[in-house]
Chain A
Amino acid sequence: MLAHATPTTIAVRVRGLSDRAIAWLFIAPTIALLLAINIFPLIWAVYLSFTNFRANRPNAEVEGVGLRNYQRVLNDPDIWIAMQTTAHFVFWTILLQTVIGFALAYLIDRKFRGHAFWTTVILIPMMLSPAVVGNFWRFLYQPQIGLFNYIVSFFTGIPPSSFEMLGSVILAPWAIIIVDTWMWTPYVMLICLAGLRSIPDYIYEAAEVDRASAWRQFWSITVPMALPFIMLAVLFRGIENFKMFDMVMLLTGGGPGSTTEVASITLKREAFESWLTGRSSAFAIILFVAVFGLANIYVKALNRVKQR
């Protein structure tokens, strides 16, 4: 009743305004802001994607080019290579972060002595800025003075200067995957930990009574009940890594060559270095539709899992 009384009182005070009008009044600034900084640029980008507009040629006549920008983007082999690089990066980071993150969450959930301290320590990388992490790992990967090469050398006997994590075509993509996994596994761990802690103890107690083994309990209780949380973590990390830019830019700049040039770096180069605004808008729309479509399919799957 109280919840109803408050807006009624306001409505009485503000004469002539209905409850609905007051509600609109409250949300209008948010909607205006949303329209200004999200919806309008999106619509504008859609418009630009059908033109030959270049931001560095403000005086040039803007002409409609139909679907030409989309055709060029979709027929550009370099863009498909960038998409493959992105897919490789997204797949391996998600796989590693999910497996390691869940394993860490499972360990932390055992509540061993000092688990709170170790939880805090594990969370540190996630709290750092990607710019700091990128520069920090650039030094670690330095072949002559970098700690990473020395550690690998210590365990394998390979001379530290004999391999370059960021300069090798084979190793550079994995160098980025290692850094992203180091930084964001704690995030996945946190979500998984929330999932594990949401499982009621009585289910395990009932399983104990039924003499279910620990292995059976893990696969029949822990995993299915934590699955919605794991899927949520995968969704968040998938979306984030699909648009990964800063860390890759700092670590390799997309190199060597174009080996680590993920889609977002290609997009930035097209838009702000080559100034092909129309074409880069088309690429951005394609990326947006791809992420939006995949995320929607995934969310439907997530809802189904939740309802089970």
Chain B
Amino acid sequence: MRKMTKALMGMSSALVLSTAIPGLAKADELTLCWAAWDPANALVELSKDFTAATGTTMKFEFVPWPNFADRILNELNSGGKLCDLLIGDSQWVGGSAENGYYVKLNDFFDKEGIKMSDFAEAAVNAYSTWPKGTPNYWALPAMGDANGWFYRKDWFAKPELQAEFKEKYGRDLGAPQTWDELKQVAEFFTGREIDGQKVYGAAIFTERASEGITMGATSALYPYGFKYEQTGGKYDMNGAVNSADAVAGLEAYKALYKCCQPPGYTDSYMGEGLDAFKSGQVAMAMNWFAFFPGLYKDEKVGGDRIGFFVNPKQKVAASTLGGQGMSVVANTDNMDGALAYIKWFAQPDVQKKWWTLGGYAVHNAVLNDPTFKASQPFAADFLVAMNQVQDFWQEPSYAILLQAMQKRLHDYVVADQGTAQEALDSLVNDWKEIFEDEGKL
């Protein structure tokens, strides 16, 4: 009898334990996963209103950018339950939709009266839809972003530099409008001594491991006329990816890297670029708009000392897309809570507050507000950038496609191997092989 009692106690303990473990995720608690950066802090602040309104405790899992994709995609692939909500990169939408990692939100949006037409069209297309261009929504546009530029306005304003530049180039020293002008300005500053320090022209992205050099180089490739396909959806990349325009764009990016990047910036991305600018090493730097509010507030280089400009055009006006949508993770134990957060976040008033706290809302109530352009010194540029964004492949195989591009670009730009034409030809071959494996070619 005693043996039987022990066995029953053991079994019941095991049963209680096994049911208790999933129960650790309380119904009134939500975990939101995102990258660790300035806007994430703004979201923590914003989410206090959600907690106040619903009583739901918000937990956050913020992963540093270089590890963000690795960490979160591992989590999704392994069926983990860490995240109820995920603000994931735009390139993840295709794979996450096809693999069932994200909840399709169409029915929910219809039921709650959330209209995608209330958000900027480019943002909806980039952050929410899969397949592209179809009204199948897997995320709510959460954070609009694009690659932009900032510069040392105080250096540009120095009369002696203004005079010297005008004499040399026959125009005023100001924010460059084209990639040709960008290189001229960068060369003008490189090697100069300002405030007792040797300075360089521009800090650009060269990072190899994740996505850095691709995001940087496409900021030159797109304006020069680079396209992924000759005909959308046909995967006919030959003549588009490796076109003469694309080659010229890649050569322009390498020329900028060679002439004007500070020494040692051979593997640099967001953090390194910000460091170079804040430490007074560079006259200009590229980075995501997401960092601009923080830069403007910076005591050393912000305020009147900093200016912003949209990615320069060349043949066409174009900017590299950043930004993310907010998705409900299909594996969540708190589906209702996660959907409630999305519903709350989609409200115009919340979106307006999101913008004031430093998040880049893409709700039309924010963007179309007459005061928006003057609300921040970079707000008008943000609007321009978001209207000309182009994004990397959003295919389910985006990770392999991205790795191939990272390798080819870094080999050419930083390691100085081969020509731009060879790099892009090789990239076409890499991508063809990937799409053949996918059965798309």
Residues of A within 8 A of B (CB): 55-59, 78, 142-144, 146, 161, 164, 166-167, 169, 249, 252-259, 269, 272-276
Contacts and interface: CB of A to CB of B under 8 A. Distances in A.
Given A58-B79, A59-B98, A169-B417, 9 more contacts: A56-B77, A56-B95, A56-B399, A166-B264, A167-B414, A256-B410, A257-B414, A257-B416, A274-B400
A195 B267 CA distance: 43
20 contacts: A57-B98, A57-B99, A58-B79, A78-B407, A143-B263, A161-B263, A164-B263, A164-B264, A164-B266, A166-B266, A167-B265, A167-B266, A167-B267, A255-B414, A256-B410, A256-B415, A257-B416, A272-B70, A272-B74, A273-B403
A275 B400 contact: yes
Nearest to B266: A167
Contacts of A254: 208-209
A58 B411 CA distance: 33
B64 interface: no
A170 to B, nearest CB: 10
B210 to A, nearest CB: 8
Contacts of B99: 56-59
Nearest to A251: B267
B73 interface: yes
B209 A253 contact: yes
A249 B99 CA distance: 30
Nearest to A163: B263
A58 B262 contact: no
A257 B400 contact: no
B174 interface: no
A258 B400 contact: no
Interface of B, secondary structure class, is: loop
Interface in B391-419: 396, 399-400, 403, 407, 410-412, 414-417
B100 interface: yes
Interface of B: 69-70, 73-74, 76-77, 79, 95, 98-100, 207-209, 262-267, 281, 396, 399-400, 403, 407, 410-412, 414-417
B264 A252 contact: no
Interface of A, secondary structure class, is: loop
Contacts, number: 91
A167 to B, nearest CB: 3
A205 B350 CA distance: 88
B403 A269 contact: yes
B22 to A, nearest CB: 20
Contact of B415 (A55, A169, A275): A169
A257 B267 contact: no
B414 A58 contact: no
Given A56-B399, A255-B410, A256-B410, A144 B415 contact: no
B263 A255 contact: no
Contacts of A143: 263-264
A88 B439 CA distance: 38
4 interchain residue pairs of minimum CB distance: A257-B415, A167-B266, A257-B411, A143-B263
Contacts of B69: 273
B264 A258 contact: no
A259 B415 contact: yes
Contacts of A253: 207-209, 267
B70 A256 contact: no
Contacts of A272: 70, 74
Given A144-B263, A273-B399, A256 B414 contact: yes
A144 B282 CA distance: 13
Contact of A276 (B74, B400, B412): B400
A265 to B, nearest CB: 9
